[in-house]
Amino acid sequence: MIFGIPKEVPEYKEIPECRVGLSPRGVRELVDLGAVVYVENEAGDAAGFDNRNYESSGAQIVYSKAEVYKRSEIIISVRALDKNEVKYLKEGQVVMGFFHLVTASKETIDTFVQKKCTVLGYEIIQTDSGELPIVIPMSELAGVQSLQLAARLLEATNGGRGIVLGGIPGLSPAEVVIIGAGSLGRTAARVFKGIGANVYVLDNNRKKLEWVYEHVGYNLTTLFANKRNLEKLVRFADVLIGAVLIPGERAPVLISREMVKTMKKGSVILDFSIDQGGCVETSKISHCGDTIFSEEGVIHFCMPTATSLVPRSATHALTNGIIPYLKEIVKSGFEGAKVRYPEIQRGIYIDNGELKKEYLK
């Protein structure tokens, strides 16, 4: 089996993409099984993995993106391919990454179909129990990141309210509202609670709320994400975290512009659902690539590739999630791996040029 790891191309010049599809450790595991791995020159530099790291792990370095695609059967990417990358695709090639085709252009989808490619979306690989094994480690990482991001954006020099997240004697802590009790929301609840913030977690899945209540701690508040509760909580939130994910679908807009208008000036919204369209009406990705902006007096963070800010950690987390599937592909071939791991089949948007998801037709 021949794999190719291209250097990631950012969708917007102002939003760097520093992650890489597989770490050197992951490459070593595939090479030890007999796979051939081609890595584009300097593909891992921004994540702290240079060419020598990959070569010592058994990879072969190639010096053009075209060569990576030409030599490889399977392309291991992080995010959706750039329009210039699509032209390098070979007929019948397999490409995998966080593609989010539900928000992709018809032109992009048509190109995959015409090339008879197979597109495997990490974000919709789902086990029999409903877990998202590739999304989980990346979401957990983003959950930890949310603490770093919120603390920085709340500082007065960044236009924030000028407050700290945790309290001290005689000073109340920040109010943190988290919408979504999945992996990201649970992790965010844990880290914010750990520094002493007042934490509120909302979801419409009772079992998820029970998990948060039992595992994160009793001294936080869990509520159903109905309109009344959302309207009430956003008014006093210092930090609002959007962590809503419906696999393969656009994120529902749960926070309206009118709700945002009621928030305190200088408060912060971290909309991690932005890669699925965003769960806050005022969230957006501007054409110039701005990911931090103020709307209705509230600071918004809307970066669809947020974990790229910590690319070394992100690449390790991504590798941990995908390596079992890649190893099975080496052992059994792509078709055999689909039998061994049915979740791979669930993660296929397009199979040899055939659309497999109704929402893409």
Catalytic center residues: 100, 275
Whether 13 contacts 289, CB under 8 Å: yes
Query: Maximum distance among all alpha carbons in the chain?
Result: 66
CA distance 355 to 361: 7
CA distance 238 to 230: 14
DSSP letter assigned to residue 351: E
User: How many CA atoms does the CB half-sphere of 184 hold within 13 Å?
Assistant: 24
CA distance 29 to 323: 8
CA distance 282 to 60: 45
Whether 315 contacts 19, CB under 8 Å: yes
DSSP letter assigned to residue 40: E
Residue 58: φ, ψ to 5°: 105, 0
The dihedral sign for the CA sequence 181, 183, 186, 192: negative
CA distance 203 to 196: 22
CA distance 279 to 240: 11
DSSP letter assigned to residue 8: P
